[in-house]
Amino acid sequence: GNTIDIEMQMVNKRHELQPRMLYYLSKMLNSQLGNREDYTSLKECYVLLFTNFALYYDSKLVHDFSFLDEDKTPFDIDKQYVHIITVELPKIKNRKELNTEQEKWAYLLEYNSDKNKAYRIEELMKEKEGIYMAIQASNQLSESELEWFQKYQEERAYKEEASFDSGVLVKHEYIGEQR
């Protein structure tokens, strides 16, 4: 199947986002093939980046990037192998209505822990089964699972910062306890 890297960017480090997303895409592509495997067996790779700050100076909530030439012709007619999708959560704040799936999910991510928005989250749960299921799954996470995930994220951030600071990119490896 396809490979997806989901990121939540909490700190506005605009200058490193593009190289970081390209780095993740290249790791995902590089890890797919063994020696002598056919390049056409590559699967699509996605980086889905959520930010808690405005990344672009427009009102679009979602940007979906792929390789195109200046005339908007895709690099490969049959398949787009790489996708970078950004979702800027603060851009949901000024919307009176939630008309699209993207807006509804962004609202959930932005306001799920806001007690003042609980009524609207409950409406979304009744309206969209996927949102209901996501809330139910998040409510079932145990303390140990949340602690493990937080430790994993901290170790990953530290490892990446150390590898970039030293000027050497280290080979991707699993850190923390694997689940």
- pLDDT, residue 169, reads 40
Higher per-residue pLDDT: 79 or 24: 24
- pLDDT, residue 164, reads 52
Per-residue pLDDT, averaged over 62-80, amounts to: 78
Average pLDDT, the chain: 80
User: 163: pLDDT confidence band, cut at 50, 70 and 90?
Assistant: low
DSSP sequence for the chain:
--EEEEEEE-S--HHHHHHHHHHHHHHHHHTT--TT--GGGPPPEEEEEEESS--SSSS-SEEEE--B-TT--BSSSS---EEEEEEEGGGGTT-S---SHHHHHHHHHHHTT-GGGHHHHHHHHHH-HHHHHHHHHHHT--HHHHHHHHHHHHHHHHHHHHHHHTT-PPPP---S---
pTM: 0.69
Q: Mean pLDDT highest for which of 77-81, 124-128, 167-171?
A: 124-128
- pLDDT, residue 66, reads 78
Higher per-residue pLDDT: 74 or 112: 112
Instruction: Evaluate if residue 118 carries a pLDDT over 50.
Output: yes
Per-residue pLDDT, averaged over 14-19, amounts to: 86
User: 159: pLDDT confidence band, cut at 50, 70 and 90?
Assistant: low
